[in-house]
Amino acid sequence: MEYAQYEKKEGITNTMLSNFSPDGREFRPDIFHWWSTFGKYLPPTDAMLLGTTCHSSVFEPKTFDKLYVAFDDKLRPEKNADFRNTKNKEWKAEQLEKLGASKKTVIPIGNWEIAMKLQDKAFKISEIKEILEYTRNVVEQMISWEVDGVKYKCKPDINSDIFMVDGKTCDDCGQKFVWDFRKWRYHRQSGMYRDGDSIANKRYDKEFYFIAMETSEPYGLHLYKVSERVLGYGRDEYLFLGKELNHFIKTGYFPCPAVINPYTEIDY
């Protein structure tokens, strides 16, 4: 789905909730105001661009080559100089112009190589391969729904008739990812997405998976299934925050005191 099309659709997203309450325990309208005024318009970081590339290579392998082309800076004429060198600078401009004519997104060769390694490994892990090759997958399907007058939207990496999947690039797909799951409130994202799909598409009790993908050696991947209890925690949190954020957007008022009651620690 085109990003612009998704942006035009009215609705609260998980990213908006993350900026309104980063830790799920405290309202931060100051952070939300900065993000909605400036942050969301900043150019994507290198890490974000790498994540997008890796998602495309794993979830849309058949179209990846049609969307991306690699720029290999190691082919520069003056090997021992950087791009402050005149000859290298001119060569780079010429190469980027040629690559840009392909209408594909130009990415560094390093990102291309990482994306290819992850794609190769993903299809060698039987549990992940089975999910990626399921014939009823829809990639980046926009879902929009409404609860108690509050509109929401999301765009899962994969939505099918029996499961939903979201990919996460990371440094460590093992125990550190489990810690990051709590830190970045992935329970809320999964609970929100599945609840939205249940309401919008009338498909209930789908399984929800995260595929953690390491962007450095050894480029490991791991499949995580979110339990029903954790999905329930996530659903409760997104509905609570969504109601408060919607009220803040419409009135400029935020709850005071700003501290939310401590949230139940998730177990796995």
Dihedral over Cα of 86, 105, 3, 161: its sign: negative
Query: CA 179 to CA 225: how far, in whole Å?
Result: 15
Task: Render the burial of 158-173: b for 16+ CB within 10 Å, e for the rest.
Answer: bbbeebbbbbbbbeeb
pLDDT band at 266 (very low <50, low <70, confident <90, very high): very low
Helix (H, G, I), strand (E, B) or coil at 260: coil
Closest CA to 111 of 165, 64, 154: 64
According to CATH, the topology of domain 3-251 is Lambda Exonuclease; Chain A (3.90.320)
pLDDT band at 5 (very low <50, low <70, confident <90, very high): confident
pLDDT (tens digit, 9 = 90+) per residue, 88-98?
999 999 999 98
Kind plus residue range of the DSSP H or E element containing 163: strand 163-170
Percent of the chain with pLDDT over 90: 72
pLDDT (tens digit, 9 = 90+) per residue, 156-181?
999 999 999 999 999 999 999 999 99
Judge whether residue 4 has pLDDT over 90: no
Query: CA 37 to CA 172: how far, in whole Å?
Result: 33
CA distances (Å), origin 117, targets 105, 148, 175: 19, 45, 22
Q: Which residue has the higher pLDDT, 24 or 262?
A: 24
Mean per-residue pLDDT, 178-192 = 95
Residue with tokens 């990003």: 3
Q: What is the model's pLDDT at position 143?
A: 96
Closest CA to 186 of 238, 261, 262: 238
Kind plus residue range of the DSSP H or E element containing 164: strand 163-170
Query: CA 25 to CA 166: how far, in whole Å?
Result: 24
pTM of this structure: 0.89
pLDDT band at 2 (very low <50, low <70, confident <90, very high): low
> Is the separation of the CB atoms in 165 and 210 below 8 Å?
yes
Judge whether residue 23 has pLDDT over 90: no
pLDDT band at 107 (very low <50, low <70, confident <90, very high): very high
pLDDT band at 252 (very low <50, low <70, confident <90, very high): confident
Q: What is the mean pLDDT of the chain?
A: 90
Judge whether residue 259 has pLDDT over 50: no
Q: What is the model's pLDDT at position 267?
A: 57
Q: What is the model's pLDDT at position 54?
A: 97
Judge whether residue 260 has pLDDT over 90: no
Assess whether the previous peptide bond of 218 is cis (omega < 30° from 0): yes
Mean per-residue pLDDT, 223-235 = 96
Mean per-residue pLDDT, 108-119 = 96
**Amino acid identity at 155:** K
Q: Which residue has the higher pLDDT, 261 or 231?
A: 231
Q: What is the model's pLDDT at position 29?
A: 80
CA distances (Å), origin 139, targets 2, 61, 68, 115, 195: 12, 11, 17, 17, 18
Q: Where are the domains of the chain?
A: 3-251
